[in-house]
Chains A and B, each alone.
Chain A
Amino acid sequence: MTAAHAADATAEISLEGGQATGRGAGGPAPVRVYVGYGFWIFILSDMVMFSAFFAAYAVLEGATAGGPGGRQLFDLTNVAWETACLLLSSFACGLASLAAASRNALWFHVAMAATFVLGAVFVGLELKEFAGLAAAGDGPQRSAFLSAFFTLVGCHGLHVTAGLLWLLTMMAQVLAKGFRADILRRILCFTLFWHALDIIWVAIFTVVYLMGKTP
């Protein structure tokens, strides 16, 4: 049986039985599906790692060792700008995935460039906040609370920085190789990663910044 026949048979099984492969019938999944699925598992394990940092932060939030707490340190205007940048960046990333799906290289690069600029502004704002805290003597060594804060928020910032490098790699690969099937899979994984980082940021601005500031 040739590959084409096998594919036809697969399609027929799922049509006749009304069964999709999510329930186990229909043969091996396409590469696109298991590559994306594997990366989805990685993202979920990354979220489990973040949950450990969140737990540590929540436990240590009050352990300020006589130093300043979140209420004195956090600047919500800065956080609002960071949030806006990351959300718009996520949106631009979605547009880039649409451009890739319709094989439009120009719009793909425009949207990815917008994603990069917004993500870079986010990292810049976060670095500014960190530098300000460290300069005022409120670095990670000041208290258990600040250690947990820098670990959690810094870990997210590192993820975003790594994502920015990945983003540039994807732009370069599309330039050099075009929308090949393997490149499209990498773009899919990148968009998953970028949207997941925004989900983690939602948890951070809620738990760390807003709850830290509530009177």
Chain B
Amino acid sequence: MSETHDAPRGELDLAPGEERPDAHGLAQGVRGYLVGLALAAGLTAASFYFCFSGLIYGPAVPAALVALAVAQMGVHLVFFLHLTTGPDNTNNALALAFGVLIVTLVIGGSLWIMANLNHNMLPMAQIMQMQR
């Protein structure tokens, strides 16, 4: 398969991580990465700040941290990996969606099952007692 098979790029799929060629231009490309860097840095700083500031109700801090992390992952996907919802990106986005599904099942399922097992298990002190 030689490179001559490449039809005009704008009409075909984009490889993951690739930007639309028509939206190119070096200055625009650099600006995209700068925006991504600023957003990611802001979200990171917010994560570290909210961790201790006491601005957020204590028990809600983990949820806030998760929300900020998910937002930052989104920023990375959009501005660094150039993932869009356009038709030229369908395959990449669907693969990502499948990955997210598996990751959710693995992490969520493990936590769920292990929490149940912990809940149904005798306290460690009693187990030690029974082994004696």
Contact = CB atoms under 8 A, between A and B. Distances in A.
A and B interact = yes
Size bracket of the B interface: 35 or more
Interface string A27-40: 01111110111011
Contacts of A54: 107
A52 B106 contact: yes
A44 B99 contact: yes
A127 interface: no
Nearest to A180: B3
Interface in A33-53: 33, 35-37, 39-41, 44-45, 47-48, 51-52
Size bracket of the A interface: 35 or more
A165 to B, nearest CB: 20
B8 interface: yes
B6 A7 contact: yes
A26 B73 contact: no
A197 B82 CA distance: 16
A44 B114 contact: no
**Would you call the interface of chain B mostly helix, strand, loop, or mixed?**
helix
A91 to B, nearest CB: 5
Contacts of A206: 47, 65-66, 68-69
Contacts of B16: 36-37, 39-40, 192
B15 A36 contact: yes
A3 B4 CA distance: 7
Nearest to A58: B111
A52 to B, nearest CB: 6
19 contacts: A7-B4, A7-B6, A11-B8, A14-B12, A15-B11, A21-B12, A31-B3, A32-B6, A33-B15, A39-B16, A40-B16, A47-B99, A59-B114, A80-B48, A87-B41, A98-B33, A188-B17, A188-B18, A205-B47
Given A30-B6, A87-B41, A206-B65, 14 more contacts: A3-B5, A11-B11, A19-B87, A21-B88, A28-B1, A30-B9, A32-B15, A58-B107, A59-B110, A90-B76, A98-B33, A101-B24, A207-B69, A213-B51
